[in-house]
Amino acid sequence: MVSSADLPLEECSVEVFRIISTRYQSISIFERVASPDDFDLLYEIESLTNPRLRDEVGDISLVPRADRVFGPGSSWIMAPFTHPPQPGSGGRFNREFGMFYCADSEHVAIAETRYHSAKFLKESRIGAITTEMRVLRAQVGYQALRDASDLDDERISQSTDYTAGQALGDQVTALRPTLR
């Protein structure tokens, strides 16, 4: 098994794609009007009287202050980190922590979403359905990422057994920076 410390550290700025269901609405209630310093207080006050906001925004305390992002569009990035994992929904990643999972092209994001949707429908014995999806396009700012794109270990990219990929993800998470 490859060690995350052996993965090259590559500085990059890349465009990424993520596809989500349209049932997840934008949660941009504060992103245009509040500074990062004010967000905790505003969220706490609003969530006292608005349980719907708690459900939409999630639990901001799950994200260390230094790791939070703010500004237009930031709610889409923060959403996977602020919603507690659902039991049994780990998929490719162990769900003890949030992850903004994305692809390097829209084509790959569509293929990944199609695969997981088909698998879910088959396992739950749901017939044909129509689901509206939203394509998110983001720019990952200039930063260092651990590059796993050239790994020659088929266990990492298995579509049916995520054990090796999850173990590598855990190592990378402990080391920081993130995996590419």
pLDDT tens-digit readout, 23-72: 655 555 566 666 767 766 766 766 666 665 556 667 777 888 888 887 77
Average pLDDT, stretch 153-164?
A: 74
Q: Tell which wins on pLDDT, 100 or 53.
A: 100
What is the pLDDT, as a whole number, of residue 116?
Answer: 82
Lowest-confidence region among 7-16, 62-71, 83-92: 83-92
**CA of residue 8 relative to chain centroid, distance:** 22
Which has more confidence, 152 or 17? 17
| 31 vs 93: CA distance, rounded Å | 28
Note the helical H segments in the chain: 36-49, 51-57, 74-82, 106-124, 163-175
Q: In the prediction, which pLDDT does 79 show?
A: 81
**Token output for 12:** 């990059």
Question: What is the average per-residue pLDDT within 148-162?
Answer: 73
pLDDT higher than 60, residue 97: yes
Q: What percent of the chain has pLDDT over 90?
A: 6
Residue 61: which of 46, 37, 75, 43 has the closest Cα?
Answer: 43
Arithmetic mean of pLDDT over the chain? 74
